[in-house]
């Protein structure tokens, strides 16, 4: 099989679709890997690293896309990249198509692309094996992001997360007790913040309570509880995920109006449209804006700036699925692995993912 690894073109996206080790394993199996010049630099991989692994370096993005049966990306293709896709190709990446422009989905349908979203590959127990390590990384990043944005020079309240003797720590509210929310809670507790975790699933709250040895306050995320904690939160993190669907709005504008001035919201559901009514996508270069006198950080590709770590993390998890497609071909790979099949968004000119189909109808 011929496999293309293009350079990512979205702003502040430093990750790469496959590591040199992945290339080495594929070429050892007889596959051909085309790596675009400079594709791995953001993650610390040189062209020489890829050449030594057996890759062929190409100098035009059209080659990395056009020569491939399987294209391995990180972020959803841009409009220009969609033009470079060929009819009938397989595309793998963090696609988040439920929050994409209609034109992106139409381009994939027109070119009959089999589009597999890493974030939608789902095991029988409901877990998301490729998304989990990225959520773990993003959860741990929350402390450094919040600590920076709470500073006065960044527009924040001037609060130290852990406080000092005689001065109380920050009050951190996390809505969503999944992987990201749990790792964020543990990280904030580690620096001494007071942490509240809300979720609709009582079993998840019980798991968080056990994991964190009762150090975090857990609450069921009924609307009145969300309103209650928002009033005193210094930091509010939206960590809500419904696989394959747009995120539900759990924090409304009316709730935000009750928050303390210059408190901070970090909407980690922004990849899927956002779970905060006032959210809109921001960038690493300009990560925050003020709405209703509350600071909002809504960077879709937050782990992109820890590119070395996050590239290795999601490649480790995605590798079995990439290898299966390369060895078996897309048809047999999908038929033999229900988890991989659940990750398919579009195939043969049709929308396959029921959640994406529902959002298209709406």
> What secondary structure does DSSP assign to 95-152, as a single string?
--GGGS-HHHHHHHHHTT-EEEEGGG---TTS--TTHHHHHHHHHHHHHHHHHHHTSG
CA distance 58 to 40: 13
Percent of the chain with pLDDT over 90: 92
**Residue pLDDT, tens place only, 232-280:** 999 999 999 888 788 999 999 999 999 999 999 999 999 889 999 999 9
Same domain, 139 and 224: yes
Catalytic annotation present for 222: no
- At residue 359, does pLDDT exceed 90? no
**Residue pLDDT, tens place only, 193-204:** 999 999 999 999
Where in the sequence is the domain holding 174, given as residue range(s)?
132-304
pLDDT at site 246? 87
126 belongs to a structural domain:
no
How far is CA 214 from its chain centroid?
A: 28
Supply the CATH number for residue 266's domain: 3.40.50.720
127 belongs to a structural domain:
no
Catalytic residue selected from 31, 69, 96, 296? 96
E strand or H helix at 74? strand 70-75
Q: How many domains does the chain have?
A: 2
Q: CA dihedral defined by 42, 154, 247, 342, rounded to 10 degrees?
A: 20
Catalytic residue selected from 49, 199, 234, 271? 271
For 24, the token pair is 């080495």
β-pairing, 171-175 vs 194-199, is parallel
What rounded mean pLDDT belongs to the chain? 95
Closest by Cα among 125, 239, 122 to 177: 239
Same domain, 161 and 237: yes
**Residue pLDDT, tens place only, 77-113:** 999 999 999 999 999 999 999 888 889 999 999 999 9
Specify the 3-state DSSP secondary structure of 155. Answer: coil
290 contact partners, CB below 8 Å, separation of at least 6 = 155, 262, 296
Q: What is the DSSP letter of 313?
A: H
Tokens 């995320």 identify what position?
Answer: 221
Same domain, 233 and 333: no
Catalytic annotation present for 271: yes
Same domain, 295 and 150: yes
**Residue pLDDT, tens place only, 126-152:** 999 999 999 999 999 999 999 999 999
């Amino acid at each position: 099989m011929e496999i293309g690894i293009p350079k990512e073109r979205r702003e502040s996206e430093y990750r790469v679709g496959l590591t040199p080790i992945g290339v080495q394993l594929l070429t050892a199996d007889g596959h051909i890997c085309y790596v675009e010049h400079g594709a791995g630099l953001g993650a610390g991989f040189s062209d020489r690293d890829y050449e030594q692994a057996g890759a062929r370096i190409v100098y035009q993005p059209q080659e990395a896309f056009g020569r491939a049966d399987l294209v391995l990306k990180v972020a959803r293709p841009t409009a220009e990249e969609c033009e470079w896709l060929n009819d009938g190709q397989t595309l793998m990446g963090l696609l988040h198509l439920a929050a994409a422009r209609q034109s992106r989905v139409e381009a994939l349908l027109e070119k009959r692309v089999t589009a597999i979203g890493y974030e939608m590959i789902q095991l029988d127990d409901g877990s998301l094996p490729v998304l989990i390590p990225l959520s773990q990384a993003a959860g741990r990043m929350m402390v450094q992001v919040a600590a920076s944005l709470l500073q006065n020079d960044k527009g924040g309240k001037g609060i130290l997360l852990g406080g000092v003797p005689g001065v109380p720590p920050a009050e951190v509210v996390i809505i969503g007790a999944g992987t990201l929310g749990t790792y964020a809670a543990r990280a904030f507790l580690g620096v001494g913040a007071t942490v509240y975790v809300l979720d609709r699933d009582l079993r998840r709250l019980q798991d968080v309570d056990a994991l964190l040895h009762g150090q975090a306050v857990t609450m069921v995320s009924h609307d009145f509880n969300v309103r209650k904690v928002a009033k005193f939160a210094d930091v509010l993190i939206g960590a809500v995920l419904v696989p394959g669907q747009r995120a539900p709005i759990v924090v409304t504008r009316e709730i935000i109006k009750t928050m303390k001035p210059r408190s901070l919201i970090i909407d980690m559901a922004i990849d899927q449209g956002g779970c905060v009514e006032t959210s809109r996508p921001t960038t690493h270069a300009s990560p925050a804006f003020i709405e209703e006198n509350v600071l909002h950080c809504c960077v879709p590709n937050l782990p992109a700036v820890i590119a070395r770590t996050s590239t290795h993390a999601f490649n480790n998890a995605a590798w079995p699925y990439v290898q299966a497609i390369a060895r078996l071909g897309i048809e047999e790979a999908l038929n033999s692995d229900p988890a991989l099949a659940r990750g398919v968004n579009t195939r043969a000119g049709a929308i396959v993912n029921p959640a994406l189909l529902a959002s298209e109808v709406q």
